[in-house]
Amino acid sequence: MPQSNRKKRVLITGCSSGFGLLTAVRAAQAGYEVIATMRNQGKAGYLHEALDRAGVSATLEELDITSPESIRMVVQKYSPIDILVNNAGILIMGSFLDLTQAETRRVLETNYLGIVELTRAVVPSMIERQTGMIINIASLAGRVGHPFNAAYAASKHALIGFSQSIRVELMPFNVKVVSVEPGYHKTEIIRANATLSENFYDRKSPFFEWNRGFLRLMMDRVIPKAGEPEAIAARIVEIMGLENPRLHYILGRDARWATRLEWLGLGQWLASKVFEKLQIARHRENRRAEYKKNRRKKTSTQTQES
């Protein structure tokens, strides 16, 4: 089939859930040849079901972006790749003091270093063909930070900086680079796929109560108000088809609001508001923990008396 007539091939990482899964389905619906990758194909069930419901197909492939050999094998197998969507990412919650060095490295290797290596592997064929697009899924956290997720925020800051830098480098070769920066959305990265640091509940840590308060704030206030991820997937697929996409896209009401405040010089006010809500959540969680403790004591006393 002539190059000009073939479907554009899209390789998407992190397709077991969330933005990756939804983008893979929408891209297939839009007529792209989709290579949907994930670290563990044992988690491919939801994607298979979504593709079946949509009546479309995609090629599912195992890819660990922290493994150079895995990257080499997949890129060699599916080259040329017209569009690369770097979506894979992990989040480990906890204060920066409570994260171990291994946990911090794991976040950075997945959310930044692995993405750099995969992009380095894909781009040469784009340069050779003088066409291509890289879409990096960053985050609002990469713009304004994210308390109790410093490693995640740092990795997304790095990804935004990487996107801005290589965008200029790849201009001579007609390779477009786009940074997509969503706010909070109901994806698994803030639910089932979110991991607590191994020292999250360490009572010796000065952040013990604050870690718990942050988690309560997420569960009570943030996750219920998070946006629906389908809108982000739709926008990513829309970007794929643009001849001249914007440099970056800040998506979601919360993301636009927070970045606007930063631009207006109100970052300190925003930080104070977040801290205020965190204090309330901490006090609420302390009361909850004390109530549970008293109930256990009461139950234990009643059991002994009987």
Main-chain phi, psi angles of 63, to 5 degrees: -150, 120
The one-letter code for the residue type at 82 is D
Catalytic residue among 32, 152, 184, 249: 152
In the residue annotation, 152 being an active-site residue is answered as yes
Where do the H-state alpha helices sit in 149-263? 150-169, 208-217, 223-225, 230-240, 253-263
Rounded to the nearest 10°, the torsion over CA 97, 184, 85, 50 is: 120
CA distance 76 to 81: 10
SS (H, E, C) 20-52: HHHHHHHHHHCCCEEEEEECCHHHCHHHHHHHH
Instruction: Extract the tokens encoding 126.
Output: 């784009």
Q: Show which residues are catalytic.
A: 152
